[in-house]
Structure 1
Amino acid sequence: MNQIMKKLEPLDYLLIVLVSLAALLCLAPIWYTVVVSVSDKAAVAAGLVRFIPVDFTWISYQTLLGESAFFRAFGISLERVLLGGALNFVLTILVAYPLSQRDADFRSRRVYVWVLIFTMLFNGGLIPTYLTIKSLGLMNSIWALVLPTAVPVFNVILLTNFFRSIPRELREAGVMDGAGPWYLLLRMYVPLALPALATVTLFSVVGHWNSFFDGFIYMNRPEHYPLQTYIQQLVVQINMQNLDTAAIVELSKISNKTLNAAKIVISMIPILLIYPFLQRYFIHGIMIGSVKE
């Protein structure tokens, strides 16, 4: 460490300071949200909370975590992430691989590409989508949350461009050795595309975990809500319920601001736990997959 410090130039120290300040600026909103979530509602409403909790209290977290409905919604979101992420992973690979081939190898490639791009720009809208899900009998099921986004076109484009960046000579060598399409895909393309696959997997996981609006649309009963939908409607439920005296006294200790802050903190914990394992692939995958050659 001392040898490294001796090799640093004055400009390097300046860059370290600037990067450290940028990191603190990025962490400041997260820390402020945590502080608000554990502060007294009166101090938050009066604007007295800065970066140190005022009248420390866990009441917002107790409100969120004190009901079995929270853990049921958490389980539904976890099931959605696992099922939807796996479905996105498989279908993205199966769509991106043929689209990455040359026109001579896949003559209808451009047609499929334009069809996919068209779906990014235009869609049937909310009501036709709802009627389709209802007619298929998917209401109040986990499939209503994962099937409409089963093929994420943006991820397909990223992975397609990554596959196209793999040297053609590798594929030609495999074909000459008798490798078929499935062997090439599973033993050559997928291992080489780990950075891009980690990137699109992160996109899928974050998208499924943070989505809440489709839960409102396709789930008619609160017991089927995923976590984000559950915590989004919790404030409305508190404001509209007929509460007894004990509940009013308990809820008087929290406010929408502190409860919303607790929601944000709880919601981002799983993503913060996953991201460090995928971060080393993220930048490499997004840069290569975003440039078309």
Structure 2
Amino acid sequence: MELREIEIFLALAEELHFGRTADRLRVTPARVSQVIKKQERAIGAELFKRTSRNVQLTDVGRQLRDGLAVGYQQIQDALATAAAAGQGISGELRVAYSAAWAGNLVVAAADTFRTRHPDCVVHIQDSQLNDPLGPLRDGSRDIQLSELPIDEPDIVNGPVLFSEPRALVVPARHPFAERETVSVEDLAEAPLVTITGQPSYFLDLHYPRHTPKGRPIPRGPSTTAWQEVLALVGAGKGVSPTSHRAAQYYSRPDIVYVPFRDAPPVEYGLLWPATGNTPKVRAFVKAVLETAAL
């Protein structure tokens, strides 16, 4: 069985649809069918049960899939490693993230990247709220995963990797803490604790000055660090929006996370310098995209 035939079999075992498999591999459905029939003749048993409505693996098909998948991935990793050597993927790659849940994805992707490119050392660190783009611009960071939007001529935006529902961090004794949800309109009723150092369009989206109905949103104190935001909210100085998942990572007895029922989600994506589109960066982007799809 040739490598391309193994690829077709494994793709069909995953898609369970001849048309989608053909589109994915850029071949015709007839070619997919021809390869599977050839394999079945060689093995002497059906690999797939086909009806007009669906395609399912047989017991023999599942056994073959499980046996081939590991070896096929090893081949792909070996090819990627060889390609990396040819492209000069070695040295160091400096990666940052802006939130703990984004960091989880970065760490998992870095494990995949290291397996494929053992000659490249990955350094991971968190990004500072007050200067998220500075390290990308001064060359001390190669790529980072952080909140969007970022619209800068010297920064490349990768695809949106995931999004998170929003929540409002409120003091534990605030009336909002008793609610199941809050509205964006409610922001007119409490000072907003904000951050400094981000682009104005970023702040306008995440820390708006007016509600959708045009009511002014009062400003509370401003800070440069997330832990200081939580301390100010806990001290009753105001409220602050964030991703709802923050409740899992930054719980405190003096604050409560209340979900928004009408706010847009927070989107997260990869960023890198426009002058830094290197083989290392492209390889890491690929690893992140594959990890995020799992």
Greater strand percent: which structure? 2
TM-score, structure 1 as length reference:
0.26
Greater relative CO (CA pairs within 8 A, separation 6+): 1
